[in-house]
Amino acid sequence: MIPTVSATGPGHTERIAVFASGSGSNAERIIRHFAQHPTVQVTLLVCNKPEAGVRAKAAAAGIPELLIERGRFLSGDAYLPELKAAGISFLVLAGFLWKVPAALIEAYPRRIVNIHPALLPRFGGKGMWGAHVHQAVLEAGETESGITIHYVDEHYDHGDHIFQARCPVLPGDSPDTLAARVLALEHRHFAEVVERVVLGSEGVSG
């Protein structure tokens, strides 16, 4: 059951909905980061896969969930009524694999952020997720990779950059070994950058 909230006035709490499709390691860290925060809370998990591991992690933290289906999300009202009823003011994509529809982008202008496991604008776009990204980086002979945290617009991996962090690509790397190094950057930086953005003090490229 998703709680509903009334309109908030001065001193209100920013309520984050975390969107995730997978195991939820980033989502879990974001939930923990804001667990005791005075003005920012994660109050909803939005998930598109019934089997996703993130659901158990959110439940363990007492975070309500909204399990969504493709047709309504992409071609209907994008579950905007539920998000508004829950008082959601900011959306964080933490391994969410569906394209965000225009209805949400219009309702939350510059209040949706995503993390991508590469240094955009290279190695982004449709189909560039997970191991596909790291394989492309290796095949291109890159000497470094990293993460990009960015605002979400109507195109895949296209919105304005907020923060980047880099790591080396080492000789003999596989997609798995590179992924582990990139994931460590995600865990180190994502929640803190989200906090700065939500509170109005954006990060800068690192």
Q: Known binder of ligand: residue 114?
A: yes
pLDDT computed for residue 14 by the predictor: 96
| Residue of 167, 163, 169, 168 lying closest to 189 (CA atoms) | 163
Predicted confidence band of residue 9 (pLDDT cuts 50, 70, 90): very low
The reply to whether 72 sits in an annotated binding site is yes
Band (pLDDT 50/70/90 cuts) for residue 12 is confident
Residue 24 known to bind ligand: yes
Query: Distance between CA 144 and CA 167 in Å, rounded?
Result: 6
Active site residue 37: no
Total domains, the chain: 2
Range of the domain at 84: 12-109
80, 121: one domain: no
Chosen domain end from 109, 140, 169: 109
**pLDDT tops 60 at residue 5:** no
Query: Mean per-residue pLDDT for 122-149?
Result: 95
CATH of the domain at 58: 3.40.50.170
From 61, 82, 109, give the residue that closes a domain: 109
Confidence of residue 11 (pLDDT cuts 50, 70, 90): low
Chain segment 75-94, per-residue pLDDT in tens: 999 999 999 999 999 999 99
The residue from 116, 134, 150, 189 that is catalytic is 116
The predicted structure's pLDDT at residue 2: 60
Q: Domain boundary at 84, 109, 134, which? A: 109
* Band (1; pLDDT cuts 50, 70, 90): low
Assigned domain for 206 exists: yes
Does residue 41 lie in a domain region? yes
**Concatenated DSSP letters for the chain?**
---------TTPPEEEEEEE-S--HHHHHHHHHTTT-SSEEEEEEEES-TT-THHHHHHHTT--EEE--HHHHHHS-TTHHHHHHTT--EEEESS--SPPPHHHHHHSTT-EEEEESS-TTTT-STT--THHHHHHHHHTT-SEEEEEEEE--SSTT-SPEEEEEEEEPPTT--HHHHHHHHHHHHHHHHHHHHHHHHTT------
* One domain, residues 26 and 93: yes
Residue 169: exposed, middle, or buried by beta-carbon count in 10 A (0-12, 13-18, 19+)? buried
Sort strands 112-116 and 144-151 into parallel, antiparallel or unpaired: antiparallel
| 48 annotated ligand-binding residue | no
pLDDT of residue 149: 98
Q: Same domain for 100 and 142? A: no
pLDDT in tens, 46-75: 999 999 999 999 999 999 999 999 999 999
Same domain, residue pair 70 and 146: no
95 annotated binding-site participant: no
Provide, rounded to the nearest whole percent, the portion of the chain with pLDDT above 70. Answer: 92
24-34 confidence digits (pLDDT tens): 999 999 999 99
Co-location of 135 and 52 in the same domain: no
